[in-house]
Structure 1
């Protein structure tokens, strides 16, 4: 499995210097970041993404990112969530999502929505709307992807160490 572009090659003005990247990884691994980031990062991403009609996603300056729209598991109403992702391969036809929830105790709501409605998800990827099918990864496939995810973004290890739940991993494929 090819993880696609890494954090330093995320869309933006150019590669982030290694020192800056390490600093961001260190900060994002902290409990303080886990308390603040869920209230700031998604709101900023959603607002800028909407205002630029899908062309700009601020968090994608450090990590590749997409905006997931999937009906709510109970309400059925569209839920829009900006997320970091791991694109797979050059064809831009599959993406990995990590349900880390910034290392907080509960699974993020978007994971329950994907479990309930895996055929109804749509992503905004680099300004394009793409219908996708979601699949929860399990077993050996999950373990292989988890190893790639840790190499891709090491703070995931700190997130997993803080929680008792097993972080959910999903593969999104074009429909």
Structure 2
């Protein structure tokens, strides 16, 4: 994976293709009323969930489908913006309004989001690397560190 001792930088599809794929995925989710588009993680792959946040400026509900893994009762994802520059809007929204909702294959959960730090971040990043060994190479495409976002059950959530 190296050329002249240098790590090979992965190639991404064009930005327009990534955005189109996101829109198609969300469209399938809507058309099939949530019966298509979400799946649970397995030992060898991540799952997908629908995250609904409160807009930091508008105050309106905003939804996005993201990849995730489980960590006990918590879920975690990466704020990667398609490995492009800048932070994804959903992560900026969560930083302002940490309370959110996630829709999973098995139902809805009320969660509170925060960025993993220190040992927690290292441990969760390593878990993601087990699923996707190329994650470190893709992370080098971003000008800043990719946040590992923990979605923990809200204390006020009724089971």
Give SS of 1:107's match: coil
Q: Runs ≥4 in structure 1, deviation > 3 angstroms?
A: 29-32, 58-63
Unaligned runs of 5+ in 2: 1-8, 155-159
Matches of 1:66 and 1:55, distance apart in 2: 12
User: Contact 1:54/1:128 (CA < 8 Å) preserved in 2?
Assistant: no
Q: Does 2:120 match 1:141?
A: yes
> Which residue matches 1:70?
53
Normalised to the residue count of structure 1, the TM-score between the two structures is: 0.72
Aligned length: 143
Higher mean displacement: 139-148 or 152-161: 152-161
Work out whether residues 113 and 150 of structure 2, in 8 Å CA contact, stay in contact via their aligned partners in 1.
yes
Hey, what does 1:16 align to over in structure 2? Answer: none
Contact kept? 2:77, 2:150, Cα under 8 Å: yes
Larger % of strand: which? Answer: 2
Note the C-alpha offset of 1:155. Answer: 3.3
Does residue 63 of structure 2 align to residue 80 of structure 1? yes
2:46 and 2:131 in contact (8 A); partners too: no
Question: Looking at CA atoms only, which structure, 1 or 2, has the larger radius of gyration?
Answer: 2
Gaps of 5+ in 1: 1-28
Say if 1:100 and 1:159, in contact at 8 Å, map to a contact too: no
Give the alignment's TM-score, normalised by structure 2: 0.79
